[in-house]
Amino acid sequence: MSKSAITITVKLFAVYQEAYGLPELTLEFPDYTPVKTVCDRLISEHPELEQWRDVTRFGINLAFVEPDTLLNDGDEVVLIPPVSGG
């Protein structure tokens, strides 16, 4: 018996959006996946994002969450790197 999968939407901002050239992605993960795994996958696909791993904040459904927060089917995830400007 295989694990169930969940589908999430990942909104991309700043360096993440620049790396992918898209404003959002739809990704599938196994049940009981922590949100930090989304960042791990994006960095594995775009290693140039590694420098942002430790300073990226996570949001699920418009609320900031801890990296170990588990994802649910249909969640909207944002990865928020530090931004500068004014």
CATH code: domain of residue 14: 3.10.20.30
Tell me whether residue 71 is in a domain: yes
Ramachandran class of 67: left when φ > 0, alpha when ψ lies in -120 to 50, beta otherwise? alpha
Tell me whether residue 86 is in a domain: no
Q: What is the number of structural domains in the chain?
A: 1
pLDDT beyond 90 at 86:
no
Contact 25, 39 (CB under 8 A): no
User: For residue 10, what pLDDT band results from cuts at 50, 70 and 90?
Assistant: very high
pLDDT at 22: 97
Q: What is the pLDDT of residues 15-66, one digit of tens each?
A: 999 999 999 999 999 999 999 999 999 999 999 999 999 999 999 999 999 9
